[in-house]
Structure 1
Amino acid sequence: MVKTVTEAINQKSLAIDEMEAIDIVSLMLEEERQIQEGIQKSLTAIAEAVELIVDKWEHGARVFVVGAGTSGRIGVLDAVELGPTFSIEPDRWIAFVAGGKNAMWEPLEQHEDNASDIVYDLQQYDFNENDVLIAISASGSTPYSVAALTYAKEKQAASISISCNQQTMSTKLSDVGIELIVGPEVIRGSTRLKAGTAQKIAINMISTATMVKLGKVYQNEMIDMQLINKKLVKRAESMLMQLTSISEKEAQTLMDETNNDVKLSLIIAKTGCNKKEAAQYLTKANNHVKKAIQLYEMG
């Protein structure tokens, strides 16, 4: 019989209802330390998930993230921030939570049993063999997530699962199964706690590492962020000044010349080439700024 860690009783918190506030939060902090260990053991699988997405992405794939309850909300939270942070098109990384958008604000956990809903939603997006599915489920057996993985398998699409139990149905259905074993919750079955935190870290790792591999980061700077307000434009100018030692006026001029394209501005500042040449080198380097600069230096 498969051991269900997420439903196990935490012996350390049996008297939590008798504890003082400081003792409750101290116990919770102590339990949180298991998260790092659980993720550490899953790093190879997380890295495999990144490589899978990058490979498919470069051939036009879209990424669909699905989940119910806390798991679904975590997927949505990560997905919506990829646009402003990395300029990802909204139709390339799409997240679904059981119960629809209202489930982000209302407790609609009953929809986690609605397996047909997610299949219908994926069909509306013409989900196919070129795409990638990421299913997040603490238990690894939530009908909503399992149905999505089953459909992905039927469509011969790549699939990744994130769960917090061992040998789960989600893992069996996935090309890459990530099992984050973080131990039983201090409140039995309340997977918004350790399991939720572990899932948040894992999906952050997957999306962020994917963006890095796709060339959306130079050193550790967000060079592909959306400059949608004055603060972010100033941040981009400051970034150019820091990375290239040019003056504020020179940074502003470059940003004007490139229509606020940080990548092109950075290449021009680093190499002295013109805008057209910078764009050509960037294309040859598959949108990786550092590689584009290296190509210029190689002649």
Structure 2
Amino acid sequence: MPLPRTETVSPGPHIDARSTLGAAAFLLDGQVDAIDAVRPAIAAIAKCALKMAAAIREGHRLHYAAAGSSGLMALADVSELRGTFGIESDKLRIHMAGGVPVDANMPGDTEDDDRAAAQLAKGIHEGDVVIVLTASGTTPFALAIARAAQGKGTSVIGIANNPGTPLLAMADEAVCIATPPEVIAGSTRLGAGTAQKAALNLMSTLMGIELGHVYRGEMVNVIADNAKLVRRAVGMVVRIADVSADAAEAAIKQTGGRVKPAILVAVGCTPEEAASLLEQSNGQLGDCLNSLSPRKTNTFT
């Protein structure tokens, strides 16, 4: 039986037979090839993003589940969703084999712990979306969570780098990112991990756009919880509402740091009117702006 591609080595002179400079170039080429492997999966990724957005819109949760390097990719993506898109923390969960490492030690045996996976899956409920990652497509921890989740009526998104593997076969939405053999056989933190991170970035960003948290290329649902982000929030209000920095700061204060309602306040709404408009439009700032007076409408299209 042939080895899965994630366990085989790239053709050509082995990386350890190259000069340091040559090895660096070889590594970079492997990363570029891994990113190229994401492109055939774009349609599946877009479909998954819509499912993720629907779950959040309906008050359900997103669960990310993985082991090892895949778990680190999942952790990186889910940890950014509150800050970037304002997704409430109670709507996001990370299930990583062995837990999130805090001492730079990530034991390998935890990926075989399907009992721990079943225990973690108790927090998954009907209507949630579960994003399961495994480069091999066969990791016991990942498969156990996927099985448990499906038994609860959730939608399982499976992301794997080896075609024809169990996770892809059982997933409701299968995202196969068929990355080339690794430059170091089995080191899936390299090409496979890079491709997984890119796929997750695409999915979660498309979800944010679908939820209305991006307007004119700006992250208008950002959580402004540090000085840099407060300045960014004020700048967004200035640019989108076409007001002075003083007016933008005043609007931001009236809305408790929330950018979308601050933009509406800056163009003449009361905070209450802004909240009502956003609720009626499912958070779509563009729709809110275009529902205002004809004098303002042309400004925002």
Instruction: Give, in angstroms, the shift of residue 13 of structure 1.
Output: 4.1
1:160 maps to what in 2?
A: 157
Aligned equivalents of 2:79, 2:101: Cα separation in 1: 15
Query: Alignment partner of 1:12: what SS?
Result: coil
Match of 2:292 among 281, 291, 296: 296
Which is worse superposed, 207-216 or 64-73? 207-216
Q: Does 1:219 align with 2:212?
A: no
Structure 1 unaligned regions, length at least 5: none
Match of 1:182 in 2: 179
Residue in structure 1 matched with residue 280 of structure 2 by the alignment: 284
Q: Are 1:232 and 2:229 matched, yes or no?
A: yes
Structure 2 SS opposite 1:217: coil
TM-score, scaled relative to structure 1:
0.93
Q: Distance in 1 between matches of 2:37 and 2:238?
A: 40
Q: Deviations over 1:101-145 (max 9, x none)?
A: 23773121210000111110121x2x1221111101000100000
Could you report, residue by residue, the CA deviation over 1:133-188 in whole angstroms, capped at 9, with x for unpaired residues? 11010001000001111111211210001110111100111011111111100001
1:2 deviates by 7.8
1:255 maps to amino acid: I
Q: Confirm or deny that 1:192 pairs with 2:189.
A: yes
SS in 2 for 1:161: strand
Matches within 5 A, 1:123-272: 123=122, 125=123, 127-270=124-267, 272=268
Checking the alignment, whether the CA contact within 8 Å between 2:70 and 2:133 is kept in structure 1 is yes
Q: Provide TM-score, normalisation by structure 2.
A: 0.93
Q: How does 1:62-141 map to 2 (within 5 A)?
A: 62-102=61-101, 105-123=104-122, 125=123, 127-141=124-138
CA displacement, residues 252-289 of structure 1 (integer Å, 9 cap, x when unaligned): 1211222222111112334x232222221111101111
Matched position secondary structure for 1:91: helix
State the 1:244 CA deviation: 2.5
The 8 Å contact of residues 2 and 166 in structure 1, kept in 2 or not, is answered as no
C-alpha distance in 2, partners of 1:226/1:53? 20
Q: Contact 1:3 / 1:165 at 8 angstroms: preserved in 2?
A: no
1:12 aligned partner: 12
In 1, Cα distance between the equivalents of 2:53 and 2:78?
16
What is the deviation of 1:3? Answer: 6.4
SS where residue 87 of structure 2 aligns?
Answer: coil
SS in 2 for 1:57: helix
Deviation at 1:24, TM superposition (A): 0.2
SS, match of residue 132 in structure 2: strand
Per the alignment, do residues 259 and 103 of structure 1 end up closer, same or farther by CA in structure 2, a change over 3 Å counting? Answer: closer
Whether 1:28 and 2:16 are equivalent positions in the alignment is: no
Distance 1:156 1:10 in 2: 40
Distance 2:178 2:190 in 1: 13
Letter in 1 for 2:253: D
Q: Is the 8 A contact 1:112 1:143 kept in 2?
A: yes
Deviations 1:196-255 (A, max 9, x none): 000011111111111111111111111111111222212211121122321111111211
CA gap of 1:133–1:209, structure 2 versus 1, over 3 A, is same
What SS does structure 1 have at the residue aligned with 2:75?
helix
| SS of corresponding position for 2:175 | strand
In 2, Cα distance between the equivalents of 1:224 and 1:290? 13
Partner SS for 2:196: helix
Structure 2: runs of 5 or more not aligned: none
RMSD: 1.8
User: SS of the residue aligned with 2:101?
Assistant: helix
Amino acid at match of 2:249: Q
Q: In structure 2, the residue corresponding to 1:102 is in which secondary structure?
A: coil
